[in-house]
Chains A and B, each alone.
Chain A
């Protein structure tokens, strides 16, 4: 089984911790002048998204997690699972609700997402940073009000509810930052 020694630790390295794949966020080498060295590590559990800390004796080895981030195209949701396709090999994978999580509200068919595969199974989905979505439901627009700065909730075609300026109407398309849920502007697409 592949493993990494603490001196190979760096941000982004994938390790198996208590049976779950984790990614190193921060690694700090600590050594008292006269004492034994160790590594203080901050990790993200890739299944739960939770951040955890661990301390290792320097030189210790930790099992590697077979985790890869793969760009894939989102195809459709069949009611149970979300299906993604590798664009070169046309290979498909199905991600369950645990893997998709909050990303579900941003998934639009044909968008390219990052699928995190652990032992070839999807465990996390990262939508594109920016998505173009159609508004399917919102209060009628306040014509001409482009300057007041007021906002109202709007439901998008993927289910996400975002805050948009008052002048927008159902059927308009908007650009949204999926990391913050923030409205970035109208889109001509």
Chain B
């Protein structure tokens, strides 16, 4: 891209037309189901403690209080839920530092929604309905739903809930022909193997839902009642492209605080800045979150599928290179 043409949009007009249509379809979908569209602040006093998310931090005035740009709208939306505002969805920009590649932009659009009284399976069904209706023509088969454990067993004959780091490294080397990078912990190796050896095996013209992630990867999801080794968390993929993460949301405030502290400990060990647990979010949980499930889905990736583009830059009017 030279200086003379740099101002030009990175997305073609036809792509932006598809994008607009897709946003309309999403809004219609939720309007018909009586889910309220909301907007929450992009700019927040506290941030996410998630270990592998880096946030942009800035200030609003001369005081030393720092604000973060949202890595997702989750915490504010859960405060609305705790306040009894019912089923809600949001389409907003979110920001993640140090993420740039053909599937990643540091600023991207996210669809996030929460359904009161929904279990993980109820939400999974609704995600399937929405995605099948907006991406229908790209999906020739019915969706596949499989547990994380079952998926590893079928593709690699490996039980992810009972495996050592050495075994994970060995299977990686055996399949790829070279060593796995040195990672910090077992869950990171599972993540690497998921991305490198499992996701490429998913059928291209089909949605794949992977349910019941290991409890260590629960994030903000509840632990399964009958099997404590797994969480009520699922991910949805179109082919090998990750679209979103859904949770049967954790309500227990003590458990939530414990996880946030653990995450901060990991952050410190990795040399990342500590993020104080959001006191407003914790207070809302203490007041009481209704039983609910929620999911966040990358909108740009839906447009990539819809417009047949291989890179996220092709579906944003302007990308980081010329923002």
A positions within 8 Å CB-CB of B: 7, 28-38, 40, 52-60
**Taking A29-B100, A34-B245, A37-B99 as contacts, is the C-beta distance between A53 and B178 under 8 angstroms?**
yes
List, in ascending order, chain B residues with CB within 8 A of A33's CB. 235, 242, 244-245, 296
User: With A28-B102, A36-B188, A58-B98 given, can you name 16 additional A-B contacts, CB distance below 8 Å?
Assistant: A7-B98, A29-B99, A29-B101, A31-B99, A33-B242, A33-B245, A34-B245, A35-B194, A35-B195, A35-B217, A36-B184, A37-B99, A52-B178, A53-B176, A54-B178, A55-B181
Do A34 and B217 touch (CB < 8 A)? Answer: yes
Q: Does B180 contact A (CB under 8 A)?
A: yes
Q: Does B104 contact A (CB under 8 A)?
A: yes
Do A55 and B192 touch (CB < 8 A)? Answer: yes
Number of interface residues of B (CB under 8 A): 31
* Bound CA–CA A56/B181 (angstroms): 5
List, in ascending order, chain B residues with CB within 8 A of A34's CB. 50, 52, 191, 217, 219, 245
A/B interface sample: 27 pairs, CB < 8 A: A7-B100, A28-B102, A29-B101, A29-B102, A30-B196, A33-B235, A34-B52, A34-B219, A34-B245, A35-B187, A35-B194, A36-B52, A36-B191, A36-B192, A37-B52, A37-B98, A37-B99, A38-B192, A38-B195, A40-B196, A52-B178, A55-B178, A55-B180, A55-B196, A57-B181, A57-B183, A59-B98
List, in ascending order, chain B residues with CB within 8 A of A59's CB. 98
Q: Shortest beta-carbon distance, B13 to chain A, in Å?
A: 28
* Bound CA–CA A60/B270 (angstroms): 12
Q: Shortest beta-carbon distance, A52 to chain B, in Å?
A: 7
List, in ascending order, chain B residues with CB within 8 A of A32's CB. 191, 194-195, 242
Q: Shortest beta-carbon distance, B220 to chain A, in Å?
A: 10
Q: Of B52, B178, B184, which is in contact with the most chain A CB atoms at under 10 Å from its CB?
A: B52
* Bound CA–CA A55/B176 (angstroms): 10
Q: Mark B152-188, 1 if CB is under 8 A from A, else 0.
A: 0000000000000000000000001110111110011
Q: Shortest beta-carbon distance, B77 to chain A, in Å?
A: 17
* Bound CA–CA A182/B98 (angstroms): 46
List, in ascending order, chain B residues with CB within 8 A of A28's CB. 101-102
* Bound CA–CA A29/B99 (angstroms): 8
- Report the nearest A residue to B185, measured CB to CB: A36
* Bound CA–CA A54/B100 (angstroms): 19
List, in ascending order, chain A residues with CB within 8 A of B195's CB. 30, 32, 35, 38
* Bound CA–CA A28/B312 (angstroms): 13
* Bound CA–CA A56/B102 (angstroms): 17
- Report the nearest B residue to A33, measured CB to CB: B245
